[in-house]
Structures are given as structure tokens and as C-alpha cells.
């Protein structure tokens, strides 16, 4: 079945293409080969590109302008993702900030935490997401990183692994266990942890290509203010499912369009 687009949708696509033609840097068309060989952080071109997308309403088009969007419809969002995939353009070199952390703060955070979302989406603050552990991968609820109540703070001890962007992140959206006696899905909470806090050690994991994106992160009695608790204590599994839904909701679309682009390229090569 061939869908036909409305006049408004076609105008949306023309505006997007004109914007990309004028503003997209050549580096953003290199797919995901952008991390280089060091751990120095996000390249200047990538910071500028993400900020440009945000400021022009093209970072997350469905959002309002103050969050980097333009109130796009679901159909227009699909057109947007299709166009980026067709042209091989990346929006950001740190996916977690705009796809997981920003939306999760908007959905689950208090007023002060929601105020952090624009910087996460624009890329002004680089976030990593502390999920996987040596014994908690696909079974994320088996996580063992502890956050012990200490008056006005939590004291965090434990280890995360395969933590994307940790070598250069400013903040960590971290899943911790606050009640070790509760059933494993019931004793989880989410904390916002400053990566410059004393007691944090980041050990980069280098790809076979030499690139650095993932890391092990060790927490040794890291003090985190209770104001940095997202949502209710011990109700973090709900946030976990919500944050993953935000991530997967965009990934599947980008994956399908990316596969179509790859297939078209193979067909052209075969001919």
C-alpha cells in the first residue's frame, strides 16, 4: 500500500531538506563512525550540530520549541526519521541524553529535574546511563549497586559496565538498589549522579577499532543528595521501563529506515 502525504507533510519534508542542505556538517553524514580514538569528549562539530538542531526545532520535532521541536505530528516525525536515515545523518553522538534522559526527566522528574531536560536534549550536558552491571545485563533487575540512606544523602557503592559515553559524561542517570530486602523489581531507584563526584572511577573500554565509547564505572562511597532521587524511592522499575520505552520507540523506526537505505545501496551496487 502506498501512502500519500498531505500538503502539510510535504511542506514539512521540504523545510527539513532545506534545513539539512544549509546546516548539516559533513561529519554528521558519517553514520556512527564518530568517536575517534580518544576519550576527550564530544567533538566541537557534534556539539554545534546538536545545538543547531535544537535551536531550529529539528532535534525532536514532536516537542515544543523550548524543548528543541516544532509540535510535529506523528506522521511528520516518521518523515523526519526517514529523511535522516536516507541521508545517513546522525543527530547526536551521545544518544542517551536526548533519547533516554531528557524524556525520562520530563515524564518522571520533579520541577527542578525537568528543568535539566533542555540541556540534555540540546547536548549542553552530556549524560551516561548507568544500567548494566557484571551480573545484571538482560536481567537488569538483578542489579546490585547499592544506595544507602545517609540522612540528606545516599551513599552509592557498586559497579556499572558497558556504560555508553561515561568517559566524557557530565552526569549519570543511574539505576541503584535502595532496598536489598525487597523483591528485586521493587527495591530499585534512580539517582542523578554528578560524574565529578569524589569516589567515581571510570575505566574506558576500547573498541577493536581503537574508538572509546563504553566504560566500566566504579562507585566507592559516592555521596548523592536526596534531591537527586528521580520519582519515588524503590519505584525505579517503573522509570526503567519508561526510559527504555523512550529509547526503543525511536530506535526501531531508525533501524527500519536504516535497513531500507542499506538495502537500496546493495541493490544499486549489484546493478
Instruction: Dump pLDDT digits (tens) for 239-263.
Output: 988 877 776 666 666 667 667 767 7
pLDDT at 254: 67
Q: pLDDT tier at 59 (50, 70, 90 boundaries)?
A: very high
pLDDT at 251: 64
Quick one: 160 and 227 in the same domain? yes
Q: Would residue 1 count as lying in a domain?
A: no
- Structural domain including 126 reads 108-238
For residue 204, give the nearest of 244, 164, 231, 239 by alpha carbon: 164
Catalytic residue, chosen from 82, 133, 213, 247, is: 247
CATH number of the domain residue 47 falls in? 1.10.540
Quick one: 87 and 128 in the same domain? no
Q: Would residue 220 count as lying in a domain?
A: yes
Quick one: 140 and 66 in the same domain? no
Residue 55 CB-half CA count within 13 A: 9
Quick one: 67 and 144 in the same domain? no
Count: domains in the chain: 2
Decide: 217 and 130 in contact? Cβ < 8 Å.
yes
Quick one: 230 and 140 in the same domain? yes
Residue 247 annotated in active site: yes
Angle of CA points 151, 154, 156, to nearest 5°: 150
Q: Would residue 2 count as lying in a domain?
A: no
Q: What is the mean pLDDT of the chain?
A: 90
Quick one: 114 and 153 in the same domain? yes
Q: pLDDT tier at 138 (50, 70, 90 boundaries)?
A: confident
CATH number of the domain residue 120 falls in? 2.40.110.10
Q: Would residue 187 count as lying in a domain?
A: yes
pLDDT digits (tens, 9 = 90+) for 169-202: 999 999 999 999 999 999 999 999 999 999 999 9
Quick one: 209 and 135 in the same domain? yes
Amino acid at each position: 500500500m502506498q501512502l500519500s502525504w498531505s500538503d502539510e507533510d510535504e511542506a514539512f519534508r521540504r523545510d527539513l531538506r532545506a534545513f539539512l542542505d544549509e546546516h548539516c556538517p559533513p561529519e554528521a553524514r558519517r553514520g556512527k563512525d564518530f568517536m575517534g580514538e580518544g576519550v576527550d569528549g564530544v567533538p566541537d562539530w557534534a556539539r554545534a550540530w546538536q545545538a543547531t538542531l535544537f535551536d531550529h526545532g529539528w532535534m525532536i520535532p514532536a516537542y515544543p520549541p523550548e524543548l528543541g521541536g516544532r509540535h510535529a505530528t506523528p506522521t511528520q516525525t516518521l518523515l523526519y526519521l526517514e529523511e535522516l536515515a536516507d541521508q545517513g545523518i546522525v543527530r547526536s553522538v551521545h544518544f542517551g541524553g536526548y533519547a533516554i534522559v531528557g524524556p525520562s526527566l520530563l515524564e518522571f522528574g520533579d520541577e527542578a529535574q525537568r528543568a535539566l531536560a533542555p540541556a540534555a536534549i540540546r547536548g549542553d550536558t552530556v549524560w551516561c546511563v548507568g544500567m548494566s552491571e557484571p551480573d545484571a545485563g538482560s536481567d537488569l533487575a538483578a542489579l546490585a549497586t547499592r544506595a544507602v540512606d545517609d540522612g540528606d544523602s545516599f551513599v552509592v557503592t557498586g559497579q556499572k559496565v558497558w556504560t555508553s559515553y561515561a568517559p566524557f559524561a557530565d552526569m549519570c542517570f543511574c539505576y541503584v538498589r535502595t532496598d536489598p530486602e525487597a523483591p528485586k523489581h521493587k527495591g530499585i531507584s534512580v539517582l542523578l549522579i554528578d560524574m565529578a563526584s569524589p569516589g567515581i572511577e571510570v575505566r574506558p573500554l576500547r573498541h577493536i577499532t581503537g574508538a572509546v565509547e563504553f566504560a566500566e564505572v566504579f562507585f566507592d562511597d559516592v555521596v548523592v543528595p536526596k534531591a537527586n532521587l528521580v520519582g519515588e524511592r524503590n519505584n525505579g522499575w517503573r522509570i526503567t521501563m519508561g526510559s527504555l520505552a523512550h529509547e526503543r520507540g525511536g530506535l526501531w523506526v531508525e533501524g527500519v529506515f536504516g535497513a531500507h537505505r542499506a538495502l537500496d545501496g546493495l541493490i544499486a551496487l549489484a546493478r
